[in-house]
Amino acid sequence: MRAVAPVLRAERVTVALGGRIALMDADLRVAAGELVGLIGPNGAGKTTLLRAVLGLAAVSSGRIVVGDRPVAEVRSEIGYVPQRHEFAWDFPVDIAGAVLSGRTRRIGWLRRPTAVDHAAVDRALELTGLSDLRRRPIGELSGGQRQRVLVARALAAEPRLLLLDEPFTGVDVPTQELLNDLFGRLAEDGAALLITTHDLAAAARTCTRVVLLNRTVVAEGGPGLLSDPDRMLQAFGLDRATLPRRRTADKEAAS
């Protein structure tokens, strides 16, 4: 069977931020139909890697391509779901307007949206269960509804590659279930998805593959990798031999 060509390729990517190495020689591939979980501790470079793919963080060395083209040429083919605090929820717009803003790169600046653009927004709202709320101001939304708006906004661009930064953080269980089901269906339909998450249980259930990152790729493989204690300790910068001493120290501090 012929191997599927990756949609996203990051090859030996190094990123420096403020004089500090945030990523070092990181390699990553995501193919069509894959839902890849990017797992690692805070400060491991997960968001930095997403921003590098988007062209928002300068790559010191290495390269990132989508298909066979540089990111700068295909930015409109990449959907991005940022962490919720990065979006301006006090902006005076309703849900439909916020989702339509996800098509700005396809529409072009100072051009009016067409029927095709509005149809893409309708599909995104339906996929995320927001059709009936389309005229609700975004400032009145719950945390789960806000997360669905961000996902719909990314889907409205009809991307071939979807990047999601901690989409399950702070959302209710029904929203988690809806998003898990949606991401799985998008992968089945041929999209390529890369998701950062601290929810290891959700990653084990829904991801087709996981990548352990701690400034570089520590390991990658099937979801079963999340059950490998040695790999997880390595990814989170822990030493198995120090764990008993840490527990003892914690007990002494509590006494």
pLDDT in tens, 39-54: 999 889 999 999 999 9
CATH number of domain containing 218: 3.40.50.300
Average pLDDT of span 116-120: 94
Of the pLDDT bands very low, low, confident and very high (cuts 50, 70, 90), residue 247 is very low
- Residues 82-116 pLDDT 10s: 998 888 899 999 999 999 999 888 777 778 889 99
Separation in Å, CA 243 to CA 163, 182, 195: 34, 38, 29
In a domain, 134, yes or no: no
In a domain, 51, yes or no: yes
| HSE toward the beta carbon, residue 212, CA cutoff 13 A | 22
Q: Are 199 and 226 in contact, with CB atoms under 8 Å apart?
A: no
In a domain, 248, yes or no: yes
In a domain, 173, yes or no: yes
- Total structural domains within the chain: 1
In a domain, 166, yes or no: yes
In a domain, 112, yes or no: no
Average pLDDT of span 22-27: 94
Residue 163's domain spans which residues?
6-90+157-254
In a domain, 72, yes or no: yes
Place of tokens 């995104």: 124
Predicted TM-score of the model (pTM): 0.86
In a domain, 64, yes or no: yes
